[in-house]
Amino acid sequence: MKITIRQERYEDYKEAEAVVKHAFTKMEFSDQTEHELVARIRKSTAFIPELSLVAVDNSGIVGHILLSKIAIKGNDTAVESLALAPVSFLPEHQHKGIGSLLIREALKIAKELGHQSVIVLGHHEYYPKFGFEKASRWDINAPFEVPEEAFMALELEKNALQHVSGIVEYSSAFSE
């Protein structure tokens, strides 16, 4: 099975949203609206088209990832960062490395575009393999109650978060 990772196109939107919806259907922690979040982010100022990627095989789209703009707000500062959310792939394609391919490519492109850091709320045993560490290391906190080990950050540039601390402010698309 050959997988190609490429930027999502407008004509991919419905198929990509179907993949996202299907990917989260049986997830216990999901509210089953991740596909709606993707649609809202695309319409927001937080959307970065180059960081909305799809995984494609000969059957069509089998995975999707989206990184969007967020801010880390301290007392008198606001630093731009990215949120990795969501990453999804069809359940029948689990354990085939599609999620890893999507994440690695999205992080590579984000770095090439000059972004400094990425925040993720996710599985504490999965994301560290990409370099994510507890965000609390930098005194970066979620705007809501989450387990400390599940809220993580990644520096795309060395020491990018060295003097950054505060609370992550997500796009309004996350709360609509």
* Helix (H) / strand (E) containing 41: helix 34-42
Q: Enumerate the β-bridge partners of residue 81.
A: 70
Give Cα 93 distance to the centre of its chain: 19
Specify whether the CB–CB gap between 160 and 117 falls below 8 A.
yes
The reported pLDDT for the residue numbered 176 is: 79
How far apart (Å, rounded) are the C-alpha atoms in residues 62 and 4?
A: 10
Strands (E), the chain: 4-7, 47-57, 60-73, 78-89, 117-121, 133-134, 140-141, 151-155, 166-169
The reported pLDDT for the residue numbered 95 is: 86
Across the range 98-119, mean pLDDT stands at 98
Give Cα 75 distance to the centre of its chain: 26
Residue pLDDT, tens place only, 59-86: 999 999 999 999 999 988 999 999 999 9
The reported pLDDT for the residue numbered 140 is: 98
The reported pLDDT for the residue numbered 111 is: 98
Residue pLDDT, tens place only, 132-174: 999 999 999 999 999 999 999 999 999 999 999 999 999 999 9
How much is the pTM?
A: 0.95
* Helix (H) / strand (E) containing 38: helix 34-42
Kindly tell me if the per-residue pLDDT of 114 is higher than 80. yes
Specify whether the CB–CB gap between 42 and 68 falls below 8 A.
no
Sequence-distant (6+) residues with CB within 8 A of 136 are: 148, 151
The reported pLDDT for the residue numbered 33 is: 83
The reported pLDDT for the residue numbered 94 is: 83
Specify whether the CB–CB gap between 48 and 34 falls below 8 A.
no
Residue pLDDT, tens place only, 16-66: 999 999 998 877 666 778 999 999 999 999 999 999 999 999 999 999 999
How far apart (Å, rounded) are the C-alpha atoms in residues 173 and 45?
A: 9
Kindly tell me if the per-residue pLDDT of 4 is higher than 80. yes
Tokens of 140: 């970066």
Strands 140-141 and 166-169: parallel
